[in-house]
Structure 1
């Protein structure tokens, strides 16, 4: 084994510091500073490319460097890429269970039959879908009720009453679009306030920022910053609508907010989040940014006000860029 020399050790040190810096920025400045927002919604796995050079170099010539490089690989595969260990639950749930499924239909291109099978196989009680375009329908059990408003729809095996949707302007669209569709679902255990959400995406700002010649053009960051402000306002208004509910609350849909996002942590992190009950990455969104694969966890089921999330799964591929998410919410007995 050779003693570590200056250049390999320096490169390894710089890489470890840079990776830890990226980790800290993700949890401190995502959706607050546009370069970190680009990392938040971009191909984070690219931060591991230096390991393709440094690890073989360390194995062949400087094996002591495998220790810091192993630490760097763990940071990358763990918190930077979003790996989590399921949070422990306190006690055994004693209230009535409601099983919720949410799925973004990718402007109606989803395999409706495959999604209908997921609903049946998981014995789902309530379904929320987003980007519902076209006339195709889910094949649901007899007796289900449903209501569609724009591109958001809610379906339930229990009696359903839908309220007025929150509509907001979005980048790339001339007219306001449905952002939150509220409903009251009358379950056997009592009424529940249900909110199907589709919060704005940063897609247009990210695409505008990327440049064919410069790769990233900081001069075009203004649209991403404007979209970030609009996305925060949408979360603020959506959360205000949720907070007006006096019933147990379930919020399900495409939040377009990874857990590291400042917007998510400010407006939604105090609710019972079903996704933290899963060990793994929990990715629900699979897309590419200029040909580079991107995987994110942005679809969620939240609960509060006397309701608590107790179980969570990411469903199979149904020919959408989003995977369906399935969660159990328990209505905790009063008193």
Structure 2
């Protein structure tokens, strides 16, 4: 063979290296699942909101949604948000929107309607209302909070008598006890009448006249039937058999009849006088029954307060925290004669309901 020089050897082309074929890795599906679940849960949240806000107590399922705790709807959205941050950031907006809808619309965070009145030359009147549950478990806790409100008129439901501690604090006040209703005031009180509803064969309201420095006013102390007595029929077996939903819807129709009877009574005694309606309505302001009967009046909390203002239930429940109410079912309503300046909700659990108070005055 011919001899080659070292220079020639160095100029020989290098041997080609074999290319490694990359191993194809399967794309992870976790991100896709997080995105899909986030979108599906947003759709569920929108459906829940629609049921509560638009259907409400006209269907058994939306009735249950109206009265069950609403904060638990937050938990899946928060878990999905954390997963989105870690795995699939494109789905973050879906979960943020879900959380906003729950906190604002489903849990009914209130933004004042703008009807709050400013300074008035007329003297203010402070009204307090509370379902006192026969003064149990600790009326003195409630009373101490009420004293700080410096009230002019106090209305109790489920009272049936006047507690000795109340008489000690307000010995010179005027008072009236009819059925379960108690009305007390620093001004003279006169009974007008009671509403005896045919729906549940019970007295649902007491109407009185009060001679205040602002003139004669009328006050209605009311307590409507709770939805809970119908919802307890919703056991799993009753739902599948259809009996539970039928019982709930029948009970709701009866509640609606009772609310209508009470509204007719109030309309009959109010005439053109300054009117205040207080008490345990046993329904939130988003309720379809409330909308049909009471939306024509000014709701003191909706007009003046930010937040949730939950008033009940405060008792401990098997699957819920003690002293953590989740519904605003106690209200103070006024007709057009009044200006609403402020509204407060109690903070203690001396009863199953927090008290509600409002500072109002007659329009100039």
Fold conserved between structures, TM > 0.5 = yes
TM-score w.r.t. the length of structure 1 is: 0.90
The match for 1:149 is 178
The match for 2:154 is 127
**Unaligned stretches of 5+ in structure 2?**
1-27
Shift of 1:290: 5.3
| Of 70, 77, 87, the match for 1:51 | 77
* Counterpart secondary structure, 1:123: coil
Larger strand fraction of residues? 1
Hey, what's the Cα distance between the residues in 2 that align with 1:262 and 1:225? 13
Hey, what's the Cα distance between the residues in 2 that align with 1:308 and 1:135? 30
Deviations 1:85-123 (A, max 9, x none): 223235543433211000111233142322332232111
The match for 2:248 is 224
Q: Is the CA contact 2:56–2:62 (under 8 Å) kept in the aligned structure 1?
A: yes
C-alpha distance 156-149 of structure 1, shift in aligned 2 (>3 A) = same
TM-score w.r.t. the length of structure 2 is: 0.83
Shift of 1:306: 1.2
The match for 2:232 is 207
Q: Is the CA contact 2:219–2:276 (under 8 Å) kept in the aligned structure 1?
A: yes
Hey, what's the Cα distance between the residues in 1 that align with 2:80 and 2:349? 39
Larger helix fraction of residues? 2
The match for 1:87 is 113
Determine whether 1:75 maps to 2:95. Answer: no
Shift of 1:319: 1.6
The match for 1:183 is 208
The match for 1:327 is 358
Q: Is the CA contact 1:274–1:300 (under 8 Å) kept in the aligned structure 2?
A: yes
17-26 or 178-187, which moves further after superposition?
17-26
Shift of 1:167: 2.4
The match for 2:22 is none
Q: How many pairs were matched up?
A: 327
The match for 1:284 is 311
The match for 2:127 is 100
Deviations 1:48-78 (A, max 9, x none): 2322531231121112222211111111111
**Unaligned stretches of 5+ in structure 1?**
none
CA RMSD, 1 decimal: 2.4
Hey, what's the Cα distance between the residues in 2 that align with 1:163 and 1:77? 42
Hey, what's the Cα distance between the residues in 1 that align with 2:342 and 2:137? 25
* Counterpart secondary structure, 1:107: helix
The match for 2:47 is 21
Hey, what's the Cα distance between the residues in 1 that align with 2:210 and 2:180? 20
Structure whose CA Rg is larger: 2
Shift of 1:266: 1.4
The match for 1:198 is 223
Deviations 1:261-320 (A, max 9, x none): 011111111211101111011101125665345610011100004123221010121421
